[in-house]
């Protein structure tokens, strides 16, 4: 509003017929308002400018023909303002649609990542839990034997313990990943890893 009043003051600061050459100054606040508020801003600023002309022009004692000339200039201002306002509003709607699509894509990717993570977690935990369950079942069978093989029982219990520790390690690494957002890499003895796999 202040910028419109300032522009009208600049155009009509002196009552003479040379004011037509300064009419372009009215484009500046109108374009600034349109850039910030789109079509709604264009309509409001054009209406305020027209009301300002209606109030100012008679006070300058200009002839009716001058007022008509101002209305033709106002027509060009309206066409420009409404066109720019429509474009600005359309761009704002397009930006909002892009933002909404981006948010939807982000949520979809999060759901896909969560699904993949749950599948991987299920696979990583299922193996040691199943193995430890089998080892404990074997321990039960060993205990039910008439002659208890303590060495074999201890070895089977050690294997069950290793599988439970492996499952706990998976959970620990997953917790560390969520807390710190990073994966800690560490060296692994390949021969020992192959040996553990062969024993299973």
Query: Mean pLDDT, the chain, as a whole number?
Result: 78
Residues composing the chain: 200
Closest CA to 27 of 64, 92, 68, 73: 73
Q: Apex CA 193: angle with CA 143 and CA 149, to 5°? A: 15
Q: Beta-carbon neighbour count of residue 88 at 10 Å?
A: 21
pLDDT > 70 in the chain, percent: 80
The mean pLDDT of 168-188, rounded to a whole number, is: 74
- Rounded Cα gap, residues 70 and 19, in angstroms: 10
- Would the pLDDT of 139 be above 70? yes
Name which of 11-25, 93-107, 144-158, 177-191 the model is least confident about.
11-25
pLDDT bin (cut points 50, 70, 90) of residue 21 is: low
For range 74-88, the mean pLDDT: 83
**pLDDT of amino acid 183:** 60
Q: Are 75 and 30 in contact, with CB atoms under 8 Å apart?
A: no
Using H for helix, E for strand and C for coil, what is the string for 146-191?
A: CCCCHHHHHHHHHHHHHHHHHHHHHHHHHHHHHHHCCCCCCCCCHH
Does the pTM of the predicted model rise above 0.75?
no
The tokens of 181 are what? 């957002």
Is 11 in contact with 25 (CB distance < 8 Å)?
Answer: yes
């Amino acid at each position: 509003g202040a910028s419109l009043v300032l522009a009208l003051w600049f155009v009509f600061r002196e009552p003479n017929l040379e004011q037509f050459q300064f009419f372009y100054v009215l484009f500046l606040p109108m374009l600034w308002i349109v850039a910030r508020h789109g079509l709604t801003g264009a309509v409001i600023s054009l209406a305020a400018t027209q009301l300002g002309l209606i109030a100012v022009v008679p006070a300058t004692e200009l002839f009716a023909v001058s007022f008509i000339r101002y209305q033709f200039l106002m027509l060009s201002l309206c066409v420009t303002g409404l066109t720019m306002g429509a474009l600005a509003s359309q761009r704002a709607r397009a930006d909002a649609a892009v933002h909404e699509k981006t948010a939807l894509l982000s949520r979809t990717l999060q759901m896909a990542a969560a699904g993949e993570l749950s599948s991987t977690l299920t696979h990583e935990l299922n193996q040691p839990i199943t193995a430890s369950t089998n080892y404990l079942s074997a321990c039960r069978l060993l205990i039910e034997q008439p002659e208890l093989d303590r060495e074999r029982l201890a070895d089977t219990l050690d294997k069950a313990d290793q599988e439970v520790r492996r499952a706990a390690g998976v959970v620990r690494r997953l917790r560390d990943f969520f807390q710190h957002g990073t994966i800690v890499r560490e060296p692994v003895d390949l021969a020992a890893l192959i040996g553990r796999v062969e024993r299973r």
